[in-house]
Amino acid sequence: MPELPEVETTLRGIEPYLRNVRIERVIVRQPQLRWPIDDDIQLLVGQTVRGLTRRAKYILVETDVGTAIWHLGMSGSLRLVTPTDEPAKHDHVDWVLSNGKVLRYHDPRRFGALLWVLPGEDSTHLSHLGPEPLTDAFDGDYLFARSRGKSQAIKTFIMDGKVVVGVGNIYANESLFLAGIRPTLAAGKVSKARYNELSVIIKDVLGAAIKQGGTTLRDFVGGDGKPGYFAQQLRVYGRGGEECKVCKSLLKEIRQGQRATVFCPQCQR
């Protein structure tokens, strides 16, 4: 699944080609995504893109008449192509742009979404979300305060979008390893000092992944069609049963919340 760094990479890839550009046509080949595409999406036709932002794993495309919200789901990608590039089987949506480019949405599993919000309205998909991890609103003090009295495992705690957005499974595994925190430890038992360190590490891990263009797992590529390279730096994720790169102990793999968790029994306490 594309996580925050992959979505941020996609945003940065497509933004120069969309900002201040007019959308001339919206072609919907398959409206049945995770949620059906509203017919109001055609209001985009003739509109100029005023801005592009990211909130959690959502990409927001702002115009004068409303905001289109993309979510890439499990296998979705946004790529820039030319009008002569024939759509493939799973190319579900095209935005034909005034600069001669086409923004094309590809999604084999159709778990992604294209939502529409009118000016002044709040999206129910965004209103409940916690702070962005790369902002000053997210730090050790915040995590410590939110975790008090919680028996929930620290890994599922930092992956909870109501606590903080965008710390997906890959980056939760990696951050906890670097912080030396066992993923099964109760969130309420982690000290403020350890949360201070963990919050900095989460920022560093996500920042490094963004610089590397994300982590390529199965279908992900960025907006330019190129894969991300952070997978080459993974220390624990996807390496269950292999040697720890620090202490040479065998990494252990368990399931938490139906997600794979890999950790080092020696390095993480």
Residue 226 marked ligand-binding: no
**Which helix (DSSP H) or strand (DSSP E) does residue 147 occupy?**
helix 140-147
259 is catalytic: yes
Judge contact between 35 and 103, C-beta under 8 A: no
Q: Which of 2, 5, 133, 183 is catalytic?
A: 2
User: What is the token pair recorded at 165?
Assistant: 């957005």
Q: How many CA atoms lie within 13 A of 39 on its CB side?
A: 0
Residue 239 marked ligand-binding: no
How far is Cα 7 from Cα 10, in angstroms, rounded to an integer? 5
Judge contact between 2 and 218, C-beta under 8 A: no
Q: Which of 54, 57, 155, 182 is catalytic?
A: 57
Q: Which of 3, 6, 8, 174 is catalytic?
A: 3
Handedness of CA 78, 215, 238, 125 (dihedral sign): negative
83 is catalytic: no
Residue 90 marked ligand-binding: yes
239 is catalytic: no
How far is Cα 97 from Cα 109, in angstroms, rounded to an integer? 26
146 is catalytic: no
Residues with a catalytic annotation lie at 2-3, 57, 259
Annotated binding-site residue numbers for DNA: 90, 109, 150
